[in-house]
Chain A
Amino acid sequence: MSEAGASPLLSARGTSKSFAGVEVLRNVDLDLMPGEIHALLGENGAGKSTFAKIIAGVHRPTRGTLQLGGTTVDVASPVVAQKLGITLIHQEPISFPDLSVAENLVLGRSDGAPLGRVPWAAINRDARRLIDLLGVRIDVTRPMRGLSIADQQMVEIARALASDSRLIIMDEPTAPLTPKEVETLFGIARRLRDEGRTIIFISHRLEEVRALCDRVTIFRDGNKIATEAIGKLSDADIIRLMIGRPLKEYMHKGKSQIGEVALEVEHLTLPGYFDDISFSVRKGEIVGLGGLVGAGRTDVARALFGVAPAASGSVRVGGRPVTITDPAQAIAEGLAFVPEDRAVAGIFRTLSVEQNISAAVPGQIAPRGVIRRGVEKALAQDAVKRLRIRLASLRQPIGELSGGNQQKAILARWLLTDPSVLILDEPTRGIDIGVKAEFYDMIGELAASGRAILLISSELPELLALCDRVLVMSEGRLTADIARAEATQEKIMSAAVPQVRGAAA
C-alpha cells in the first residue's frame, strides 16, 4: 500500500542520542510510510533499538525532531507515544502478571474518574473482540502470569489495536517464538499493514525480514547506512552494509605458546538453548565464540560454569572428565567466568572494590572463617596495580567506578583463583575505546601465560584481532570453526545469520 508520493506517517530528522557522553545514534533521517513493514537491521549496538526506543518515548533524543503525520511531536514518554498511536512491543512484554488479560489491555487508559466504575462486562467483551480479531485463543479473564511469551506478545499487539496505534514497533519479537508462532505473528503483521498501519520490525533473521518486510534500513555504528526496498538488496549486500566498517587497528596479541588441550567439550546439549556443541580450547589459545545475540553462546558458557548445567554431553578440563553442576565446583576445577551483564551477575555494587576483588577467594583471605584485612588489602592492591584499575580508593564502592574499571576489577577477581580456563562473555561491552585496547592487551597476556581463553563477543573486529580460532553459533548450533588465517567478517557473519529457519524447533 505504500505508493510513491504518499506522505510519510513518521519523519525523523537528525535524530541523535548519547548515553553518558557516548554517541550511540548519529543524525538519523528516516521516513516511515503508512502501510509498510519496515525492517531495522544492524549489528548489536548499531543503534537500531535505540532509534526504535526514541520513537516509542522510552528514550529522549539528544538532538533531532520527529514529525507524525506532518506535525512535530515530542514523544516524552511511552504514555505520550501511546496517545499518539505509537506502541512498542517488547520481546518479553512488560505486563501486570497478577491482573487479567482484559485488564492488561485497558489499564492506564485515561478515560474516567479515579472512582469511576470499572465496566467489567464491557472490558471483557472488548478484550475478547480484540483477541478474536487477532485470531488467537486466549482466555481474557485469566491472569497474564502463566501465558506463553507468544500469547503475551499477542496481548501487547491487541493493546496496540485497542488504542488504535498507527505505528507498531516490534523489537526482535520472533526470538523467543516457535516457527508456528512466528507464522501467526507474521499473518497478523501483514493484516495490520493492509489496514494501513506501519510496522517497524527489528530482527536478526534475514529470511524473516525478506518474508515479511517491504523496506529495510540498515544501521551501523550509530549511523543510518541505507534505506532500500528489500527486493533490491541481496543477502550479501545486506551483510556487507551491516559490517562494512573499516577494520579498526588493534594491538595484535603477542606470540603465545599453544600447548595441550585445556578444555574439551563434546556433544554438549541443553534442549531449547543449544544442541550438540563440541569444541576444544588449548593452553595459550584464545578461541572466539561469535554469533548473534540469542544464538546460545552465553547459555553454553553458563552450562560450562555450572550455572545452568547442560542436559547431556561431556566436558574435560585438563584431560580429566568433569561434571560441573555448580559454580563453586567450576572454580575448584580451575574455570573462571566473567559474565556478560556485570551489573546483574558480576559486581556487588555497594561493596568496596577490595571486597569485590577478593570475593572469589574466601579461602585465601579468611583461612579460618575470619577475614584478614591485611591479606585482603594486599591481594586487592596487587590486582589494582597489575590490571591498572583506576580508582580513588580500594574502599570505594565498585558501583562508582567506570564500566571499564569495574570490568577490570571483575577480571582481577577471577585471576586470583588462578584459573586454567577463562571464559569471557562480551568483556568489552559498554567500555570506551581506550580501555578496550588495554583489555585486549591483557587478554593477550593471559593467553601468553598459558591460560586457555574462550572469548564470547559480538564484535567482529574484536574476534578477528584477538582470536586464534573463531567458532560461530547460530540458533543453538555450532555453524563454523574458522582458523585465524581464514577468518573474515563476511565468513563469520554468514555463519551467524540463520539461513534456513525452523529446523531446530
Chain B
Amino acid sequence: MSLIRTLLVRREAGIAVMIVLFCLAVGAFRPQFLTLDQLRIILLLVPLIMIAAMGQMMVIVARHVDLSIGSTLGFSAMVSGMLYRFDVDWFGFDVPWWTGIPVSIVVGAGLGLVNGLLIQLFRLPAIIVTLGTLSLYRGLTFIISNAKQIDRQWIPSELKGLSQTSPVFGTPWIIFIAFGVALATYLFLMHTRMGRQIYAIGSNPVAAPLRGIKVTQVTLVVFTISGALAGLAGILYASRWGFVNPSNTGSGFEFQVIAAVVIGGVSINGGVGSVLGTVLGVLLLGCVAAALPLLGIPGTSQAAIYGAVILVALVIDRTVRRQGIAGFKRVQP
C-alpha cells in the first residue's frame, strides 16, 4: 500500500476515531447522547452541509475554493420560495410542489457558472471572485425578495414532508438524498474521466494543459456543480425549516461546509481528497453541533468551536503534507 493512500486511510481512520472518541466522551456526561434518537438528530443536522460539501470538495480538489455557496443557497431558495408565494399572481395557477427542486438546482448552477467564468476568463483567484459573489448574491436575494421572508404557509407541505416523512427506518428522505449525492459524487470523481481530470488539475495545474486536459471546461463544470448542489441544499433548506429568509438562509453556511471538507482530509493544496473523508468530516461537525446544546454550551459559543475544529484540522493537514513531501527526496547521483 502506497504512502499517500496509507496517509489518507490513516486520515480517514483518524476522523472516524475522533468521532467515536468525541461521542463516547459526550456520552460519559450525557448518556442520552448515545441513543438511536440522537443519531437521528445528528443525521438531520447534516444533509444540507453534506450536499454542499460534495461540491465544495470538488472545487478544493481542483485547487480552488467557493466561498459563495451560502449566498447561492439563499438566492436559489428565495427564487423557489417566491415561485411558491407568487405563482398564482404570475402564472395564474399553483405550480406543483416539486417545481422548486429543479428551479433551485438550475439557479444555483447558473450562479456557480458565473463564478467559474469570472475565474477562468479573467484569471482571477477563486477566493477573491467568490468573496465578491458571496456579497453580490446575498444582495441580489434582498433585491428580488424586497427583503421579505417567505413564510411557512407558502412552502408546500409535500416539500416539507421530505424532511419529516420517511421511506424506511424512520429516516427522512432528505438524509437519503444527501447520501445519494455523496454516492454520485464518488462515482463521478473516481470512475469518470472528468472526475480524474479534476484531481490532475489540482495536483499539477501547470502540467494539466500540457497533457491535453481542458482546464477551462473542467473548472467551469466544477463550479457549476458546486453551485447546483448549493441550489439543491437551498430548496432542502425550505423543506427542512419551512421558510426562506433573505438574510438568515444560508448565512455562514460556507464556513461549516469548508470546515467539514477540510476536516475530512481534503487538502487545500489540491489534488487530494475523498468522498468518504468528507462524509466523515460532515458527521464529525454534526456530532459537535448536536452535543453542544446537550452539554449546556450556549449557541453563542458554537462559532468559536467550529473555528477551533477547523484550525485543528488544518494543523493536521499541514503536518501530514510536510511528511509526504519529505518522502519525495531527490535521488543523489
Binding site for B on A (CB under 8 A): 77-79, 82, 94-100, 103, 107-108, 110, 112-118, 120, 139, 141-143, 145-146, 148-150, 175-178, 181, 271-273, 475-476, 504-505
Contacts and interface: CB of A to CB of B under 8 A. Distances in A.
B333 A176 contact: yes
Contact of A107 (B4, B192, B200): B200
Given A96-B200, A96-B207, A142 B3 contact: yes
Given A97-B328, A143-B5, A117 B204 contact: no
A97 B210 contact: no
Interface string B1-29: 01111000000000000000000000000
Nearest to A272: B332
B161 interface: no
A95 B217 CA distance: 21
Contacts of A175: 333
B204 A97 contact: yes
Contacts of A475: 333
A114 B4 contact: no
B271 interface: yes
A98 B2 CA distance: 11
A36 B196 CA distance: 37
Given A94-B204, A97-B203, A114-B194, 18 more contacts: A95-B204, A98-B203, A99-B200, A99-B271, A100-B2, A107-B197, A108-B200, A115-B194, A117-B192, A141-B2, A142-B2, A142-B3, A146-B328, A148-B331, A175-B333, A176-B330, A176-B333, A271-B332
B192 A118 contact: yes
A160 to B, nearest CB: 13
Given A98-B4, A114-B194, A505 B333 contact: yes
A118 B196 contact: yes
B199 interface: yes
B324 to A, nearest CB: 6
Nearest to B210: A78
B191 interface: yes
B331 A176 contact: yes
Given A117-B192, A142-B2, A272-B333, A98 B211 contact: no
Contacts of B2: 100, 139, 141-143, 146
B195 interface: yes
Contacts of B204: 94-97
Contacts of A103: 196, 200
B206 interface: yes
A79 B211 contact: yes
A99 B203 contact: yes
A152 to B, nearest CB: 10
16 contacts: A96-B199, A96-B208, A97-B204, A97-B271, A97-B328, A98-B202, A100-B2, A103-B196, A108-B211, A108-B213, A110-B212, A112-B193, A118-B190, A145-B4, A146-B328, A177-B333
Given A143-B4, A149-B330, A114 B192 contact: yes
Contacts of B200: 96, 99, 103, 107-108
Chain B CB within 10 Å, residue with most, of A79, A94, A97, A113: A97
B272 interface: yes
Contacts of B167: none
Contacts of B4: 98, 142-143, 145-146
B170 interface: no
A82 B193 contact: no
Contacts of A271: 332
Interface in B212-227: 212-213, 217, 221
Interface in B287-333: 324-325, 327-328, 330-333
A107 B3 contact: no
A425 to B, nearest CB: 19
Interface in B155-201: 188, 190-197, 199-200
A107 B213 contact: yes
B333 A108 contact: no
**Considering the complex of A and B, which 10 residue pairs feature the smallest CB-CB distances, nearest first?**
A272-B332, A108-B211, A142-B2, A98-B271, A79-B212, A98-B203, A114-B194, A108-B212, A96-B203, A94-B207
Contacts of B188: 115
A143 B328 CA distance: 11
Nearest to B188: A115
A98 B3 contact: no
Contacts of B328: 97, 145-146
Contacts of B199: 96, 98-99
Given A142-B3, A146-B2, A115 B193 contact: yes
A145 B324 contact: yes
Nearest to B271: A98
B191 A118 contact: yes
Contacts of B196: 99, 103, 107, 118
A362 B331 CA distance: 38
A95 B3 contact: no
A95 B200 CA distance: 9
Contact of B193 (A113, A176, A178, A272): A113
Contacts of B331: 148-150, 176-178, 181
Given A146-B2, A176-B333, A475-B333, A94 B210 contact: yes
Given A118-B193, A139-B2, A96 B271 contact: yes
A79 B213 CA distance: 9
Contact of B3 (A96, A116, A117, A146): A146
A145 B3 contact: yes
A114 B194 CA distance: 5
A95 B271 CA distance: 12
Chain A CB within 10 Å, residue with most, of B190, B210, B213, B324: B210
Contacts of B197: 107, 114
A185 to B, nearest CB: 13
Chain A CB within 10 Å, residue with most, of B211, B325, B330: B211
B189 to A, nearest CB: 10
Contact of B5 (A110, A116, A142, A150): A142
Contacts of A113: 193
Nearest to A145: B328
Nearest to A94: B207
A94 B211 CA distance: 10
Contacts of A98: 4, 199, 202-203, 271-272
Nearest to B269: A98
Contact of A94 (B5, B206, B330): B206
A144 to B, nearest CB: 9
A77 B333 CA distance: 32
A403 B331 CA distance: 33
B333 A178 contact: yes
A271 to B, nearest CB: 7
